[in-house]
Amino acid sequence: MSDQLKIALIGTGGWAREHARILSLRPDVDFCAVVGRNAERTAQRAAEYGTRPYTSIETMLDEQHPDMICVCLPNQHHFEPTLQVIEAGYPLLVEKPLVFEMEQADALLAAARQRNLFFAINFNHRYAKPIALAKTAIEAGNLGDIIFAAWRFGGEGYSDHPHANLIETQCHAFDQLEYLCGPITSVIAEMTDKTGKGFSTLVLSLKFKNGAVGSLIGSYDSSYAYEDTHRLEINGIEGRLAVEDTVRRYSFQRTGDETAQVWQAGYFNDLDREFHRTFDRHMDVILEAFRSGQQPPIHAEAGRRALQLAQAAIESYETGRRVSVEETPNH
């Protein structure tokens, strides 16, 4: 492997621009190609970031032979291109959600395991400063035994999939809640389709393996312009922490103490204040792991796990009962 990693990008959409930005600015990366479906749009994106345009994944692979590939496509179009990259034998980073069907998730993971491929997924929210502070506080025992967790995340959104909000957006909720509180063992769900956009608002009741309980509210019938569009609260016997808008503010308060410890980005700290930079930090550790021959910091298995929990929520709503969720080996 040379000093520079040769990395290609499949996708030309809005979030794919963040991939392109990061890859083009890193001195340790040769951003060798971008692949898109529309020739004109792909050429414009390639010119903007100083790379080569392709409209065929196969042609790009034949000509460029990258060390790694980033896949960032519309949410319901992940499976076939991802499988193509895996079957061609290339290490990869994919965007969330992994896919919308468990059979597809299992097929991708099996194909990657068969080839012993590096297979990462971009749950970049874990790399927000407040989430890192929350993880440190919990691991240090500052909260004591966790009793409950509450997550709320809602904004504008639309999809022709009836459970899009649950699968493509609340995957971050499932990932963060398990990252911080441990495995979820059962789910009860209520959902509404009153706005005609599928089940675009939902409420879940959760039970964790450690005995704690949780709530999850997700919506595409709200607004990202609202203050506190995202809030995470974790309450333990000895204290409580709260995260506001993922990157905006973190607070911790001990039981009975009327004074809280608070972090929020200072005047010059644009890096921690900007949501998009959570991806920069994730890419740092992804490439470090890849170069050293280690597993990804967040393996694509985490994408399957989020989908497994989403499918349990769907089953709960459709059957009107609590649904148990089997632990995966990584949990």
Token couple for 293: 């021959």
State the chain's maximal CA–CA distance in angstroms. Answer: 64
Alpha carbons 91 and 72: distance in angstroms, whole number: 14
Alpha carbons 32 and 69: distance in angstroms, whole number: 10
Alpha carbons 209 and 186: distance in angstroms, whole number: 9
**Interval 17-62: pLDDT, tens:** 999 999 999 999 999 999 999 999 999 999 999 999 999 999 999 9
Measured CA angle at 171 (ends 219, 285), to 5 deg: 135
125-275+306-324 adopts what CATH topology? Dihydrodipicolinate Reductase; domain 2 (3.30.360)
Mean pLDDT, all residues of the chain: 97
Domain ranges of the chain: 5-124+279-299, 125-275+306-324
Sign of the C-alpha dihedral computed for residues 130, 136, 140 and 143 taken in this order: positive
In which band, very low, low, confident or very high, does the pLDDT at 330 lie, cut at 50, 70 and 90? low
In which band, very low, low, confident or very high, does the pLDDT at 331 lie, cut at 50, 70 and 90? very low
191 Rama class: left (phi>0) / alpha (psi -120 to 50) / beta:
beta
Choose the CATH number for 5-124+279-299 among 3.40.50.720, 3.50.50.60, 3.10.20.30, 3.40.50.300.
3.40.50.720
pTM (2 d.p.): 0.96
Q: Quick check: bond before 183 cis, omega within 30?
A: no
**Interval 267-310: pLDDT, tens:** 999 999 999 999 999 999 999 999 999 999 999 999 999 999 99
Cα dihedral 251/252/257/258 (nearest 10): 10
**Interval 196-212: pLDDT, tens:** 999 999 999 999 999 99
